[in-house]
Amino acid sequence: MNAMFDLAGKVAVVTGANTGLGQAIAAALARAGATIVAVGRSDPADTAARVREAGGALHWHAADLAETGASAGIVAAIVREHGAIDVLVNNAGTIRRSDAVDFSEEDWDAVMNVNLKSAFFLTQAAGRWIIANGRRGKVINIASMLSFQGGIRVASYTASKSALAGITRLLANEWASKGINVNAIAPGYFATNNTQALRADETRNRDILARIPAGRWGEPDDLGGAAVFLASRASDYVHGTVLPVDGGWLAR
């Protein structure tokens, strides 16, 4: 392992790590040497198995991230049990689809609470601890192509991911001088549960693939390298960036 990318001895908290992108990120960070703390409602048994295969250890902290008032307690419990938080990956997310003229307040709040509000307040709690203890830290927000574009039929998802990119830049401005790197990864079109409806729609699937220069949907493991980079010493002078991992989608 190149020392610049070595995460041995680091505690990495990954939200929504039980499937898809979060699972792949957790496995990649473990492969680089980090201890993984998975935060979410569901037992990440499959992710734990992948982390073990990577030679690492995963610990599950059960929490409902829709309950945004729990953030300080989550951070306190993780620090109490593991001694530190060195890396925070805000990956947990949800999506609701409906035409804008029909979009409900319930669907708006459900998405914004998990994708944006929870991510901000969990980061706030982790940042408070890191700053108060004079440590360095890395925050990686999982943004989206819809941090750059509008999309269709996903009003609250687009709003949340656009705002998450803005919060990434704001926190970088406030915390860069305090030893905390705050950056984001913007995945392109990946084969996950959230995109099942798009991949099942023959027309949408064809149109999406036609625009991706790489000619394929991303696989979750394609995200691992970017996550390790942003979690490691290699990114110590990288602040406030939103890194697309998109098969060339935005270059088209």
| Dist CA 130 CA 138 (whole Å) | 10
Query: Residue 74: what are its φ and ψ, rounded to 5°?
Result: -60, -50
| Dist CA 70 CA 130 (whole Å) | 18
Active site residues: 157
Structure tokens given for 186? 């913007």
Structure tokens given for 250? 């935005």
Structure tokens given for 89? 């990956």
Query: Residue 45: what are its φ and ψ, rounded to 5°?
Result: -60, -40
CB 137 within 8 A of CB 189: no
For 128, the 3-state DSSP assignment is helix
Exposed/middle/buried for residue 210 (C-beta within 10 Å: 0-12, 13-18, 19+)? exposed
